[in-house]
Structure 1
Amino acid sequence: MRMTALHEGVSVAEAMTNAVCPDCGQPPAEDGVRRRQRRLAAIARAASSVADEASLSVTLDVVAREVVQATHISAVQILRVEGGTMRLIGKAGFIDADDFPERFEECRKLGARMYFVESFQSQETIVVPHRKAAVMADPRWGPLHRIMGAPQWDSFAAVPLIVRGRALGVLNAFYSPGEDPSQEEFEFLEAMADQAAMAVDSADLLARSRQDAQLEERARLARELHDSVVQQVFSMRMHAKALRAQVGDAETASGDKVRLVADELLGLAQNALADLRSLILQLHPLELGGRNLIDAVRTLAESVQASSGVRIEIRAGELAELPTELAEDLYRIVQEALHNVVKHAQATKAVVSFAATGRQLTVKINDNGVGLAGEPRANALGLVSMRERAQRWRGTMEIGNTADGARVRVRLMVPYADGQA
């Protein structure tokens, strides 16, 4: 069993006295047997949910409900720590709050002490008796008072979600007034936390497996396009040039017509070749290994400039090392923005700039084109993909006109290098 840390002067022995009768030393009458049966049944149902449910949030909501139903616990939160941020992925007994992550971040900035963060970092169970009164009296917890104050609870326990020695998140249990956790209940909570950790780990493995399969398929398509279609279009262009050379400067009407056809064929082949090369660049998996984000974007800019004629300038100072997934998302955002510049802007120049202030990173893509004729389509696939990539890192993506053309601006918070929430 994981080590248990108890705070505010309460020892394990003192916590356990709440679970026995002071006269006979036995579990109180509601009886240990029935409680134990409920807990075992809850563990079994949670394990079944982990095996059967496709949605991680649905699975973890089930785990949270089973904890509430099997114990004297008023509410449960299951939090995931990923990319240095903490998000709510399962709950029971709490009001719905889509803005929980934002409110949580506000509390942290105000300096609120968060025992569940400490539990995650130390990989130990932490129990804090009579925690609600302290939370509700602390102005640093103000942004979360409405959410935390809704359930009827008193004491608090945080149990880390651990898989293969690595913490993935934390399960928070909020005990009903007058109920304090016993050692047996610690074991139950840790068993349920293990079920939640298995669900998170399985979802991660499945997502990585799907991503690997998608990347492999995209690489295969890129190779096939290059080996077949591109070569054929390249051959078309060479034939068109040869045809044009054979016609030469003939002044006959038939020669003019052949020359016109040859010119048209040459133009079509050149455009098709440029489009195919751009498509291959988008399909091919991004490999940042050995290169940082700025170097990868410079390579992209050189390719776009060579195929389109649009001059691409990169402006960037020193950037801290970014998580690979974040770097890939930013690369794809820049790639899609430059694709839109080439396709729609009628621009001769684009500037990609990176600026970091503390943990905030801003990426801008400006062009000197015709600008936007109106509001961009909200459901345009490229824009949706860019926005989702930014939101994945709790960022924003804006697109609009400037005095010289159009601009895409992305702002996000870079996670701590050590993975802290």
Structure 2
Amino acid sequence: METTEQDGRCPECGRPAGDAGSFDDARRGQRRLAAIARAASSVADAASLSVTLDVVAREVMQATHIAAVQILRVEGGLMRVVGKAGFTDAEDFAERLEQCRRLGARMMFVEAFRTRSRIVVPHRKAAVLADPAWAPLHDIMGGPEWDSFVAVPLVVRGRAVGVLNAYYSPGEDPGPETLDFLDAMADQAAMAVDSADLLARSRHDAQVEERARLARELHDSVVQQVFSMRMQAKALRAQVDAGLGGGPDGVGAVADELLELAQNALADLRGLVLQLHPTELVGRGLASAVRTHAESVHAATGLHVEVEAGQLPELPTELAEDLYRITQEALHNVVKHAQASSAVVRLDRGDDRVPGWLLLEVCDDGVGLGRPAGTDAGCSGGIGLVSMRERAERWGGTLEVGGARRGTRVRARIPVTPLEAAS
């Protein structure tokens, strides 16, 4: 029997007519929950802040009756758009916004940021387009079809880091459920901004630590050797001025010492330059870069380093550099702490029992750590060991530091997918 509105049922879905609104509300609620979940996933996975916040902005538009979204970030007292949807691109938006501010335009999103409180302004578009102070942005703000306006501050750990601006479609009033949804999405955007800030600070701290280490190594090796060369040159000059009072043998001894000091200083400088930028990675690959570094370590310290490298798959440049840095730090620890005479670096795909993994091992014949094999590197408070572990975990891998049959072993295991398997 055909259902009709006279029967009290919806003619399209067959549900009681009074339930149609509830059903639509439920579907809207489900869309908003799904949008929050997708935004959270983007915050966790995306490497670019602008890509992440563009995703958040699009999810807000798709889940609600909102015509356009802007996400602004505050840095050094300045605001800039870092995510948007529904607006045409405008590279000079920040300059136009500053012009509006100078003309006296009232910027509600600035008040939302300063007060860390949500601001709702009904029928905002008409007021903006009628205000001469907003003239520099009239063409951009007049593009989308919108009416009311909501500004939600991005707040994380008690501090505001930006603002989410939502421009509602005509006839749509910001209701409690929509506002709660915007609050949730603003929280996701705030987390993305905070994560980007933390990553930037972490990289800066790592750069500062690396520069300090390089400065110490320059002072302890190259500077000392150049100082000794200067003293030997003065001695040689004194002998020349005295008419070669020490004879040819004396001059030859000073010249030989100068030559040895120059060779050592050159080897140290080459090693430091390689640490700053392992160009071998780009031109000849990971194994070649590791061999070059091993030769540099041997020339500078006398430690014999053997490199055993199997057939490696093609690796992303960033992964190759992380593996190179792990090797570099491990050999640095051998030289500094192990009292070893030799070390072995192994690079291979692993074995048939553990397919899909890249194995990096650095073993030495030194005094050892006094810990059993398999001990997590995180047990040590050393910055270098923590850095090695973080580099391995960045690629879903693991790092173990512990005793070998003799000395110490550093073992990194990284999951890799050969290009042919991924095609």
Q: Aligned partner of 1:212: which letter?
A: D
Q: Which residue of 1 is the match for residue 58 of structure 2? A: 65
Once the two structures are TM-superposed, the CA of residue 34 in structure 1 deviates from its matched residue by 0.9
Matched, 1:181 2:162: no
CA-to-aligned-CA distance 1:75-131 (integer Å, 9 cap, x gap):
000000110000000000000011111111111111100000000000000000000
Matched position secondary structure for 1:91 = strand
Aligned to 1:226: 219
Q: Percent identity?
A: 77
Distance 1:30 1:39 in 2: 14
2:204 equivalent to 1:246: no
Q: Distance in 1 between matches of 2:241 and 2:33?
A: 89
Match of 2:104 in 1: 111
Spell out, residue by residue over 1:289-338, the C-alpha distance to the aligned partner (whole angstroms, 9 max, x if none).
xxxxxxxxxxxxxxxxxxxxxxxxxxxxxxxxxxxxxxxxxxxxxxxxxx
| Equivalent position of 1:31 in the other structure | 24
Question: d(CA) in 2 for partners of 1:125 and 1:224?
Answer: 53
Flag the 1:63–1:74 CA change in 2: closer, same or farther, 3 A.
same
Hey, what's the Cα distance between the residues in 2 that align with 1:26 and 1:225? 77
TM normalised by structure 2 equals 0.54
1:178 and 1:158 map into 2 onto residues whose CA distance is 18
Higher RCO (C-alpha 8 Å, min separation 6): 1
Residue number in structure 1 paired with 2:196: 203
Correspondence 1:267-416 to 2 at 5 A: none
Shift in alpha-carbon separation, 1:179–1:33, aligned structure 2, 3 A: same
Deviation at 1:217, TM superposition (A): 0.7
Give distance in 2, aligned partners of 1:26 and 1:43. 26
Partner of 2:230: 237
Code of the residue aligned with 2:33 in structure 1: it is: L
Query: What is the Cα deviation at residue 220 of structure 1?
Result: 0.2
Paired residue secondary structure (2:136): helix
Alignment partner, residue 142 of structure 1:
135
Letter in 1 for 2:155: I
Output the CA distance in 2 between the equivalents of 1:183 and 1:26: 21
Question: What one-letter code is carried by the residue in structure 2 that aligns with 1:178?
Answer: G
Give CA-to-partner distance per residue, 1:350-399, whole Å, 9 cap, x none. Answer: xxxxxxxxxxxxxxxxxxxxxxxxxxxxxxxxxxxxxxxxxxxxxxxxxx
Report the RMSD for the aligned CA atoms in angstroms: 3.1
**CA distance, structure 2, for counterparts of residue 49 and residue 197 of structure 1:** 13
Paired residue total: 245
Q: CA deviation at 1:249?
A: 5.0
Q: Helix, strand or coil for the counterpart of 2:181?
A: helix
Deviation at 1:146?
Answer: 1.3
CA distance in 2, matches of 1:45, 1:88: 21
Give the alignment partner of residue 101 of structure 1, picking from 82, 94, 106: 94
* Paired position in structure 1 for 2:374: none
1:117-196 aligned at under 5 Å gives the runs 117-196=110-189
For 1:59 and 1:128, the matched residues in 2 are separated by 27
Please list the CA deviations of residues 218-274 of structure 1 after superposition, one character each: whole Å capped at 9, or x if unmatched: 11001100111000001000100011011115399x99xx89x99xx89x99xx99x
Larger radius of gyration: 2
TM-score (norm 1): 0.54
Deviation at 1:29? 6.7
Aligned-partner residue type, residue 125 of structure 2: K
